[in-house]
A and B are shown apart, each in its own frame.
Chain A
Amino acid sequence: MKFLDEYRDADLAFKLAREIHRQTTRPWTIMEVCGGQTHAIVKFGLDELLPASIKLLHGPGCPVCVTPMEVIDQALEIAARPGVIFTSFGDMLRVPGSRTDLLSVKGAGGDVRIIYSPLDAVKLARDNPDQEVVIFGVGFETTAPATALAIFEAARTRLANFTMLIAHVLVPPAIEALMSSPDCCIQGFLAAGHVCAVMGYEEYIPLAKKYRVPFVVTGFEPLDILQGVLLTVRQLESGRAEVENQYGRFVRREGNPHAQELMNVVFKVVPRRWRGLGEIPMSGLALTDEYRCFDAAKRFGLDSVEATEPADCAAGLVLRGVKTPHECPAFGTRCTPEHPLGATMVSSEGACAAYYRYRRLNTVPVGRMP
Chain B
Amino acid sequence: MCLAIPGKIESISGDDSLTRLAKINFGGVIKEASLAYVPEARAGDYVIVHVGFALSIVDEAEARKVFEYLEQMDELADLKEASP
**Residues A64 and B56 in contact, CB atoms below 8 Å apart:** no
How many A residues touch B, CB cutoff 8 Å?
55
Q: Are A1 and B26 in contact (CB under 8 A)?
A: yes
Contact yes or no, B26 A146, CB < 8 A = no
- List which A1-49 residues lie within 8 A (CB) of chain B: 1-4, 6-7, 12, 15-16, 19, 34-36
Question: Which residue of the partner chain B has the closest CB to A219?
Answer: B66
Within 8 A of A (CB), among B24-72: 26-27, 33-34, 36-39, 46, 48, 50-53, 55-56, 58-60, 62-63, 65-67, 69-70
Check if A142 sits within 8 Å of B50, measured CB to CB. yes
A15 touches B56 (CB 8 A): no
A145-B53 contact in complex given A249-B62, A250-B48, C-beta closer than 8 Å: yes
Q: Are A198 and B70 in contact (CB under 8 A)?
A: no
Output the nearest chain A residue to B73 by Cβ-Cβ distance: A19
- Which residue in A15, A61, A119, A197 is a CB contact (below 8 Å) of B73? A15
Asked whether A116 and B56 contact (CB < 8 A) given A3-B63, A197-B4, the answer is no
Looking across the interface, which residue of chain A has its beta carbon closest to that of B3?
A: A36
A residues with CB within 8 A of B: 1-4, 6-7, 12, 15-16, 19, 34-36, 61-64, 89, 91, 116-120, 138-140, 142-143, 145-146, 149, 152-153, 192, 194-195, 197-198, 220, 223-224, 227, 246, 248-252, 256, 258-259, 262, 347, 349
Additional pairs, 9, CB under 8 Å, beyond known A63-B1, A117-B33, A259-B55: A1-B5, A15-B70, A16-B70, A62-B1, A117-B51, A146-B34, A149-B34, A227-B69, A250-B56
